[in-house]
Amino acid sequence: MKKLIRSKKDRIIGGVCGGMGLYLNVDPNIVRLVWALLGLTGTGLILYIVAYFIIPEESDIIDGQGEDIE
């Protein structure tokens, strides 16, 4: 099962777009472009900040055996 996480490897600011790109199976640059277009309205910036705090970071997700999920 896929989980939405913030990427530690594919990040520019907080890893939100990189994680969303992995989750949606699209290029993270396309996700970044959509966020940038939403940012022009002001809504995108607020949503990005909310997503940054709600979506867990990649290293915060641990499977049942105590190993990091990558």
Q: What pLDDT shows up at residue 30?
A: 93
For residues 8-17, give the mean pLDDT: 86
Q: What per-residue confidence (pLDDT) applies to 12?
A: 85
pTM, entire model: 0.72
Smallest CA-to-CA distance from 9 within 19, 48, 56 is with 19
11 versus 31: which is more confidently predicted? 31
Q: Can you give the pLDDT at residue 52?
A: 92
Each domain of the chain, given as residue ranges in start order, spans: 16-56
Calculate mean pLDDT across residues 15-26. 90
Round to whole Å and give the CA distance between 44 and 20: 14
Contact (Cβ atoms closer than 8 angstroms) between residue 13 and residue 55: no
